[in-house]
Amino acid sequence: MKKNILLGVCAGIASYKTCELVRLLVKDGFSVKVIMTESATKFVTPLVFQALSNNMVYLDMFAPVKEENIKHIELTEWADVCVVAPLTANTLSKIANGICDNLLTTVICAMPQSKKVIFAPAMNTNMWKNPIIEENADKLKKLRKYIFLNPSSGLLACGDYGEGRMPEPEEIYSRVKAVLK
């Protein structure tokens, strides 16, 4: 049966790679619905994700409920698995501290215990190695419902070399499939 993937996109350069992740999932027959943070829309337009996923993109928790629009709790019920890629330092820290101030953080908080959430963080090495971010990441790693794909090392978008690259779309795609088996 066709499985449903809820995909959160935060405001990081690596969001261009998330477009390829959507393409891989849709090509393989998954249904994909994308939630973007407001800042994420400054990097890749919602139209790109709408076109790749063949679904409307969810942005605003307080948008008037239209026919094609569903509420945040319904999104958690619809999803078989949730993926957040890229996960920014900001959203990682909000989730780790139970902050629900936008649609994405609220949906993650409301995901039932039985459903997995895969996080693919991406950020500058100094952010990733910041003890506050490390502590917040450790909080999430301790919870069984969360699967953390550690960022890899290499050339970062900011020009530095170091840890902080988002895993490649193919790797995230393989993990999604493995979780749904």
Binding site for ligand FMN (CB under 6 A): 10-14, 37, 39-40, 88-91, 122-123, 127
Task: Report which DSSP code applies to 124.
Answer: -
Q: Nearest distance from residue 13's CB to ligand FMN, in Å?
A: 5
**Alpha carbon distances (Å) from 110 to 21, 80, 115, 129, 175:** 24, 14, 10, 28, 22
Q: Nearest distance from residue 52's CB to ligand FMN, in Å?
A: 19
CB atoms within 10 A of CB 169: 20
Active-site residue among 10, 19, 82, 158?
Answer: 158
Closer residue to ligand FMN in complex, CB, 15/53: 15
Alpha carbons 158 and 128: distance in angstroms, whole number: 14
- The candidate with the shortest Cα–Cα distance to 21, out of 2, 11, 40, 7, is 7
Task: Report which DSSP code applies to 122.
Answer: -
Q: Nearest distance from residue 69's CB to ligand FMN, in Å?
A: 21
Catalytic (active site) residue 158 = yes
Residues annotated as part of the active site: 158
